[in-house]
Each structure stands twice: as structure tokens, then as C-alpha cells.
Amino acid sequence: MYRASENRYKNMPYRRCGKSGLMLPAISLGLWHNFGNVDIFSQFREIIFSAFDQGITHFDLANNYGPPPGSAEENFGMILKDDLRRYRDEMVISTKAGYGMWPGPYGDWGSRKYLISSLDQSLKRMNLDYVDIFYSHRPDPNTPIEETMTALDHIVRQGKALYVGLSNYSAEQTKEASKVLRELGTPCLIHQPKYSMFERWSENGLLDVLEEDGIGAIAFSPLAQGLLTNKYLKGIPDGSRAAKAHGFLQKDTITEEVINKVKALNDIAEERGQSLAQMAISWLLKDDRVTSVLVGASSVKQLSQNIESVNCLDFGKDELAKIENILK
């Protein structure tokens, strides 16, 4: 039977999430990839144990994570029931709804019908009475934002979530949603944007809105789907995400210019005594507005290496200038 390390809180820094009372680990574990039924149960079980042993208390899911959709929640629920139940009050568990999950007009986007039904299904899959954070996974252009936010408020009042958050909302949409939630009495806790050295749209107003409204930020895809690792230093390797035609990282986006940027960034990382992946995570965490960085993991070794990023968050002015020059 699994017993958590007694030293699990020794090295991981925790950051306050916006103006709330909730603290999150600087590194959180995302179950977007590698935790579905197509993956090896014993392997991702060990990854979850290792994460918790190293101070990762926040585990992030969504209704459609897998594949197949829903299987990541089911697998996490089994591990929680069999091994982690005694530690439930030490854990922050989040899930989301907003992308297509079941056929018909009620299994997608941001209606009250979909969000509440989806969370009920997620709770059953994970064998939970409540989640700590429930997200609207993306804005719905055809549903009034008041309806989506009122559904989130209702979910908290039902006791099915302790906090609510947004993901993939623009700065303007976030401002509007935050205002509605605040007036309802359920302030927005956190926003989850796609954010990395190669994906910086959140710097164009979103982070300012989050700071102004007291909302935390948790960055997903911090390694740009693996591009900000040493994997692509010599081109596109067989078996990588970019080599798969159906993957999120498309082969035609990895140009010679991009590879040259990756190589130049890797040189700076080596000078810092870090891997490129570690530097990419540290670069995000240098900003106090970023509460946590959401990492995935395909092995315990990879996870541990990424966690080491928290030990080197300081960047000199020259380093930052060199990085900005490369990224232009």
C-alpha cells in the first residue's frame, strides 16, 4: 500500500493563488496526455505517487482527457480510491468542461445544461463528492457569458466545487466573466492559459487583468508540446508528437528558424546549468503573477527533472535580454 513521503513538503515552493486563501505548488501535474486507457496504468500510477511525494498537491484533469475521453478521470479515480483517499484533504483536484464530450447539442461548449451535467459525470468517474476547482474550459460564442458564469456559481453553491476558474478566455472575456462572478459572490480563482516562450498571447493584457482582479494564473503547455526540450535540437525525431499527423504539434510548424531558436535557447540553458525544459519552466515562474506551471510527464525521471526547475528561478538582465532577442 502506498504511503506518501514524510518529506513531501520539504522542497516544493507554494504560491498564493491570486487574492484567495488557496496555495498551489509551483509545479502542478496535468493529466492531459499519458493517463488514458491507451497508456500503461502501472506507469502513470507511479508518476502520480512520485508527484505527490515531491510536493505536487495539485492534479489537473478535464472531462475529455484520455484517450478515450473520460478515461483519465476514471484512472485517476481508481488510484485515488485505492491509494490516495487518505490524502484527499492534502490534494487540489481540478477538472473542466467546454469541449465536445458526447453527441448532440448538450455535450459541448458552455451552457448551464452541459457544464452541470458534465461535472456530475466527472465526479462519478473520479469517485468524488466535489472537486477543488471546476473550469469553464473555453468561452462559448453562442451562450451569454452570464449563463456560463451563473452555472459556475451554482456548482459552488451546490458543494460540487470549492472554486471556479476559466481557461482559454481572452483578456476582455476574462474581465467580463470575472465581473459577473464577483457580483454573484463566487469570485474567479484562477485562469489557465496556454503560455510558454513560444506562446505569449497572455502577456497582451490577460496577466494584467488577472493581477488587477486578484486571479491566479496556471500556465499549460509550458514546453510548447515538447518543442522547448532537447528532443528537437536535431530536427523531428521518430515517435515525437510532431511526427504524428494527428498531433497538436504540427510538423510544418517546425521550421529551420524555429529549430535555430531552440538551439540558441538551449545554449543559454546550458550556461545556467539547466536543461532547456527546466529553463522554460523557470522562465514562466520568474513572473509572480504565475501561480503555478502545469507539466505533463511520461516517466518519473522526466517529472523529477522538471520539478528541479524551482531551484533556479533567478534570471540576470543579460540572460533575459538574450532570450528576448532569440524569441523576436
Q: Is residue 74 part of a domain?
A: yes
Q: Does 194 have pLDDT greater than 80? A: yes
The residue range of the domain holding 73 is 14-227+278-311
- Chain-centroid distance of CA 243 in Å reads 23
Q: Is residue 252 part of a domain?
A: no
Q: Of the candidates 323, 274, 293, which has an alpha carbon nearest to the alpha carbon of residue 26? A: 293
pLDDT of residue 104: 97
Amino acid symbol at 123 = L
Q: Is residue 296 part of a domain?
A: yes
The model's confidence at residue 58, banded by pLDDT at 50, 70 and 90, is very high
Which string of DSSP letters, residue by residue, matches 52-78? Answer: HHTT--EEE--TT-TTTTTHHHHHHHH
Q: Does 306 have pLDDT greater than 90? A: yes
Number of domains the chain is built from: 1
Largest CA distance in the chain: 54
CATH classification at residue 46: 3.20.20.100
Surface-to-core class of residue 46, CB atoms within 10 Å of its CB (0-12 exposed, 13-18 middle, 19+ buried): middle
Q: Is residue 257 part of a domain?
A: no
- Taking a C-beta distance cutoff of 8 angstroms, is the pair 174, 205 a contact? no
Q: Does 130 have pLDDT greater than 50? A: yes
The model's confidence at residue 255, banded by pLDDT at 50, 70 and 90, is confident
Q: What is the CA radius of gyration of the chain?
A: 19
Q: Is residue 250 part of a domain?
A: no
pLDDT in tens, 133-184: 999 999 999 999 999 999 999 999 999 999 999 999 999 999 999 999 999 9
Q: Is residue 285 part of a domain?
A: yes
Q: Is residue 211 part of a domain?
A: yes
